[in-house]
Structure 1
Amino acid sequence: YHRPDVDACVPLRGYCVANDGENCITTGVNLDGLHTWFEGAATDRSPEQSQHGATLQCQMSEDAGRFLCEFIYYTSLRINEKATLFIHVPPLDKPFGAAEIADAIKTVILRVCEQNNFTATTEEAAAKNFHITGVPHLDVSPKPAQTTNDESFHIADVQHMMLDEMQNALQ
């Protein structure tokens, strides 16, 4: 990792971790089962029946990218490889809105908890059992709408909305 992040920082010596880190860490999440279930849900339900983001497509990859995404994924796997998953999401409203994307992400998280027999009855239990990657600094205070020239979205807005959705689902 040699390109600076948004704070103009790069990891020491260009690596995620000190020399004691493994070159490759694999998630313990059953990705094949998750993908099969997600694709089955997409073909078995009409959009109006969908409660699980089933209108969205799911593609699996072993590469989160060589920038912040892969860095976050790798360091999260070092914390808990059994239950770490990284999800790339499409830009908002191209073609899916925030509610559809949040619903799909929530469904994936709950499905992973179910597949691994995690207790997901409360936010506290879910936090102990599942490390949500891509959310290293979680600020749950309301955020004003953010606009950009490149039509991307402000991740804090989506994080806040996802937290609300997950809290509702886990109660």
Structure 2
Amino acid sequence: MPDDMDFMFKPIVLVTGFGPFVNHPVNASWEGVKLINKDEIEKKHNVELVLLEIPVTYENVDEFVPALWETHTPKLMIHVGVSCIAECFTLEMQAHRKGYQRMDYFEKCPANHTCPAEGAIRLHTKLNVERICKEFNDGNSHEDNTKAVASKDAGRYLCEYIYYTSLSVDNTRTLFVHVPDSHVYSAEQTARGLERILHLCLDQLNDDQLAGKMNDANLDDKA
């Protein structure tokens, strides 16, 4: 019997939403995240889905997010936050290390307005965000008025801060999604849209993994 028992455990997919903050006593991100159909995602992709609410403080991000990566080694990490200007699902492509001058829930900013996570001044996700948006929009039914767009401006607040923190750990399997407030999409619409984004991300990761294995096999054949 092999010593490595990892095959007995399903890969973990982590999705976080944010808790309340000023002008958002009920945060649409967490309201949508907590309604995601865990059973459907887990059965289709053979993963364990973990849904977490994160307080809107820089210190909590610094403490919890690296620990989540270390503890769970997720197959995919998706952070979700609300945007008062978003009119649809907004998939962020990048995050910056500096420029965090807005006060958090405890009226604090990070030291020197800089994320302590180590990395370049700007980090990009290696997930193909534009492809995810296209597949999301192409798959819409006539009854579904939701859509997805790509963005390069995550807002220099907790949303971008948590994104940078995770991108600094692994940018090949990290994404941030801004969702509109509840008067634009209901919690149920947000949940259904996030489920579709999850499916598309996991399909893309699986496709890339398969392509990598095929390339390795081709290289072995030529050796």
Match in the other structure for 2:101: 2
Q: Distance in 1 between matches of 2:198 and 2:145?
A: 17
2:186 corresponds to which of 83, 92, 97 = 97
1:55 Cα offset (Å) = 2.7
Residue type of the alignment partner of 1:23: I
1:24 Cα offset (Å) = 1.2
1:32 corresponds to which of 103, 109, 130 = 130
Contact kept, 8 Å, 2:126 with 2:171, in 1: the verdict is yes
* 1:17 and 2:142 are equivalent in the alignment: no
1:105 Cα offset (Å) = 0.6
Secondary structure at the aligned position of 1:88 is classed as strand
Q: Distance in 2 between matches of 1:21 and 1:116?
A: 23
Q: 1:41 to 1:4 in 2, by over 3 A?
A: same
Match in the other structure for 2:67: none
1:110 corresponds to which of 185, 199, 203 = 199
Higher strand share: 2
Contact kept, 8 Å, 2:125 with 2:171, in 1: the verdict is yes
* 1:46 and 2:103 are equivalent in the alignment: no
Secondary structure at the aligned position of 1:69 is classed as helix
1:10 Cα offset (Å) = 1.3
Match in the other structure for 2:145: 55
Residue type of the alignment partner of 2:167: L
Match in the other structure for 2:176: 86
Match in the other structure for 1:74: 164
Q: Which runs of 4+ in 1 moved over 6 A?
A: none
Q: Distance in 2 between matches of 1:114 and 1:107?
A: 11
Task: List alignment gaps of at least 5 residues for structure 1.
Answer: 48-53, 119-171
Q: Could you report, residue by residue, the CA deviation over 1:55-91 in whole angstroms, capped at 9, with x for unpaired residues?
A: 3111110111011111111111112211111111111
Residue type of the alignment partner of 1:2: Q
Q: Could you report, residue by residue, the CA deviation over 1:113-157 in whole angstroms, capped at 9, with x for unpaired residues?
A: 111108xxxxxxxxxxxxxxxxxxxxxxxxxxxxxxxxxxxxxxx
Match in the other structure for 1:143: none
- Which entry has the higher C-alpha Rg, 1 or 2? 2
TM-score, scaled to structure 2: 0.45
Contact kept, 8 Å, 2:127 with 2:201, in 1: the verdict is yes
Secondary structure at the aligned position of 1:85 is classed as strand
Q: Distance in 2 between matches of 1:9 and 1:80?
A: 27
Match in the other structure for 1:149: none
Contact kept, 8 Å, 2:136 with 2:196, in 1: the verdict is no
Alignment root-mean-square deviation, CA: 1.7
Residue type of the alignment partner of 1:3: R
Among all aligned residue pairs of Structure 1 and Structure 2, give the percentage whose two residues are the same amino acid. Answer: 31
